[in-house]
Amino acid sequence: MSRYNLTLLTDLYELTMMQGYYENNTNETVVFDVFYRNNPSGGAYAIAAGLDQIIDYIKNLRFEAEDIEYLRSTGIFQESFLAYLADFSFSGDIYAIPEGTVVFPKEPLLKVIAPIMEAQLVETAILNIINHQSLIATKASRVVYAAGGGVMEFGLRRAQGPDAGTYGARAAVIAGCVGTSNVLAGKLFNIPIKGTHAHSWIMSFKTELEAFRNYARLYPDNCLLLVDTYDTLKSGVPHAIQVFTEMKEAGLPKPSVYGIRLDSGDLAYLSKKARKMLDAAGFTDAVISASSDLDEYLIESLRSQGAQITSWGVGTNLITSKDCPAFGGVYKLAAVQGPDGKFIPKIKVSENIEKVTDPGNKTIFRIYDKETGKIRGDLIALADETYDSQQSLIIFDPIATWKRTYLEGGSYTIRELLVPIFMGGQCVYTSPCVMDIQTYCQKELNTLWDESRRLANPQTVYVDLSRPLWELKNQLLDNIHNFKDKK
Ligand SMILES: Nc1ncnc2c1ncn2[C@@H]1O[C@H](COP(=O)(O)OP(=O)(O)OP(=O)(O)O)[C@@H](O)[C@H]1O
Ligand SMILES: O=P(O)(O)OC[C@H]1O[C@H](OP(=O)(O)OP(=O)(O)O)[C@H](O)[C@@H]1O
Ligand SMILES: O=C(O)c1cccnc1
């Protein structure tokens, strides 16, 4: 997707810090990690999304003459720094977890290794993109899980602006929605567009029957009729049946999709009644679709009541992730390259143990049970560590270290999650198309145990530190405390 230049999509402080580094003549290479601390909506996982837009952003990162002019007009920046910006391009490395991957708190979803001026500039846009799309993908995966499939994303009108509606639709399809009502998203990302019709269509005709007949004449192959404008069971469903009967009698080919949409009332009750009426008329394959302020909990409840709904239009609650409006991804410095080229690990200490960062240039290994393919745990490790799944391995909780799991050599498989995206400023990664990411995401979700997928109180997936990383972290914490003690 070609996009306008987002180079100024950054917080002012990134630019003022950048100018500070420029003035001080410091531009050492650093490592920054993107990670999040808590799973959205009380779940046990998130879905990584947004990488393709980050790639686009980095590729197009340059200060145009008008950007420089604007920055000059603020009076904050020196001419020498503006001249540096005019020549700026990204020269660093980026590693990331591919889109559609199931991810967990604390693990680096993306890692930037670049001169500090570059690494600092890109913080805001990277977080903005990952935080939004990962949030919506995670929410959508919950909705799709509850529905068992057949979810159409209908939220554009209630999204927080055009970008949220469009990239949100992309994220929703990655996570398993069968399509979106957003036509621009369909065009930009080559994803299926779906839709029925509104109450206004029915109301614009003299009668409901006339409105249905007209719609069926125009769209005989994809004909979902909205049946709740006047009276769902006494008018809408009987009229829909009448029109389907007329289509059949006219000898029209069987539609690819036909049926009804319920948009109000007791969806459980109405769908069961409507199913009986459609079946009795011989339309056993007619689809019953439902919409109206749905979310994963309502859908789960409807299904547990035996609602006869197999197609779901979900808007507001999905596209805004209404119960959890922010993803909370952060960007933290993990290492600074010393004069000898080696990375010096950095740690941020906090009163709150959860907020102490993991130091060093790191990677992530995912450990799967060999027999079932399910995730046993993730291991955040130093980037130069290697593992051999034929060797036995003990993984342990980095805080409650007595909680440990012994993995017998040969009983597990292991995969490194971070892959190179940019090397020396050049993109070395080709993003799959959205529908391929969707297929991959489905496989990813299947690596979670059912206990970690359920909506309420799911089982946490272990994210542990490798022994070398754990030792490094403790050593740095000790050093800091020794220093404090001596003061
Ligand atoms: N982070 C971890 N890494 C590896 N193994 C762990 C981890 N946490 C727990 N275990 C192991 O998993 C098993 C279950 O432990 P336990 O019941 O304490 O799990 P838990 O997830 O900590 O439970 P809780 O839900 O109370 O937090 C034990 O064998 C324990 O040693
Ligand atoms: O309810 P959502 O999950 O957001 O799904 C999308 C809603 O948008 C449409 O309604 P419309 O905008 O016409 O308003 P309505 O709520 O009055 O039907 C549609 O009929 C759904 O009800
Ligand atoms: O096509 C539909 O039925 C639709 C699209 C957007 C919002 N509500 C419904």
Phi, psi of 229 (to 5 degrees): -70, -40
Centre of ligand 3 from the C-alpha of residue 406, in Å: 51
Spatial CA neighbour of 171 closest among 147, 197, 137: 137
Assigned token pair, 279? 């079946």
Tell me the β-bridge partners of 413: 368
- CATH code of the domain covering residue 218: 3.20.20.70
Residue 1 has pLDDT above 50, yes or no: no
Phi, psi of 126 (to 5 degrees): -60, -45
**Rounded distance between C-alpha atoms, residue 50 and residue 324, angstroms:** 18
Q: Give the rounded percent of residues in the chain with a pLDDT score beyond 90.
A: 96
pLDDT for 353? 78
Centre of ligand 3 from the C-alpha of residue 153, in Å: 9
Burial group, residue 142, by CB count within 10 angstroms (0-12, 13-18, 19+): buried
Predicted model pTM: 0.97
Angstrom distances, CA of residue 353 to CA of 91, 348, 350, 425, 460: 35, 10, 6, 35, 18
- Say how many C-beta atoms besides its own lie within 10 A of residue 179's C-beta: 19
Centre of ligand 2 from the C-alpha of residue 133, in Å: 22
H/E stretch holding 131: helix 123-147
Mean pLDDT of the chain: 97
> Which residue has its alpha carbon closest to ligand 2 atom 14?
292
Angle between helices 123-147 and 296-304 (to 10 degrees): 10
The band of 487, judged by pLDDT with boundaries at 50, 70 and 90, is low
Total tally of structural domains belonging to the chain: 2
**Rounded distance between C-alpha atoms, residue 60 and residue 7, angstroms:** 8
Phi, psi of 296 (to 5 degrees): -65, -35
**Rounded distance between C-alpha atoms, residue 112 and residue 91, angstroms:** 11
Q: What is the CA radius of gyration of the chain?
A: 27
Residues 275 and 339 in one domain: no
Residues 357 and 467 in one domain: yes
Averaged pLDDT for residues 212-230: 98
- CATH code of the domain covering residue 66: 3.20.140.10
Residues 128 and 52 in one domain: yes
What residue ranges line ligand 3, CB within 6 angstroms? 154, 181, 195-196, 291, 313, 315
Pocket test for ligand 3, best of 151, 202, 291, 317 (most atoms within 8 A of CB): 291
Residues 375 and 471 in one domain: yes
CA 52 to chain centre: 12
Residue 454 has pLDDT above 70, yes or no: yes
Specify the 3-state DSSP secondary structure of 257: strand
pLDDT for 337? 96
Pocket test for ligand 2, best of 196, 291, 296, 322 (most atoms within 8 A of CB): 291
pLDDT for 291? 98
Centre of ligand 2 from the C-alpha of residue 285, in Å: 25
Render pLDDT for 75-99 as a digit per residue (tens, 0 to 9): 999 999 999 999 999 999 999 999 9
Residue 168 lies in a domain: no
pLDDT for 484? 67
The band of 486, judged by pLDDT with boundaries at 50, 70 and 90, is low
Render pLDDT for 297-336 as a digit per residue (tens, 0 to 9): 999 999 999 999 999 999 999 999 999 999 999 999 999 9
Residues 339 and 480 in one domain: yes
Angle between helices 51-59 and 123-147 (to 10 degrees): 160
Specify the 3-state DSSP secondary structure of 375: strand
Residue 126 has pLDDT above 90, yes or no: yes
Residues 398 and 266 in one domain: no
Residue 1 lies in a domain: no
Centre of ligand 2 from the C-alpha of residue 319, in Å: 13
Specify the 3-state DSSP secondary structure of 232: helix
Centre of ligand 1 from the C-alpha of residue 366, in Å: 17
pLDDT for 3? 57
Residue 249 lies in a domain: yes
The band of 352, judged by pLDDT with boundaries at 50, 70 and 90, is confident
Ligand with smallest separation from the Cα of 180: 3
Q: Is residue 154 within 6 Å of ligand 2 at its C-beta?
A: yes
Residue 246 has pLDDT above 50, yes or no: yes
pLDDT for 2? 41
The band of 48, judged by pLDDT with boundaries at 50, 70 and 90, is very high
Specify the 3-state DSSP secondary structure of 429: coil
> Which residue has its alpha carbon closest to ligand 2 atom 11?
198
Residues 358 and 467 in one domain: yes
pLDDT for 91? 98
What residue ranges line ligand 1, CB within 6 angstroms? 377, 395-397, 403-405, 460, 462, 464
Residues 253 and 353 in one domain: no
> For ligand 3, what atom is nearest to the CA of residue 261?
3
Q: Is residue 316 within 6 Å of ligand 2 at its C-beta?
A: yes
Render pLDDT for 423-441 as a digit per residue (tens, 0 to 9): 999 999 999 999 999 999 9
Owning domain of residue 375: 12-136+325-486
Residues 261 and 341 in one domain: no
Q: Is residue 314 within 6 Å of ligand 2 at its C-beta?
A: yes
Averaged pLDDT for residues 268-280: 98
Residues 244 and 129 in one domain: no
Residues 91 and 210 in one domain: no
The band of 453, judged by pLDDT with boundaries at 50, 70 and 90, is very high
Residue 380 has pLDDT above 60, yes or no: yes
Residues 330 and 472 in one domain: yes
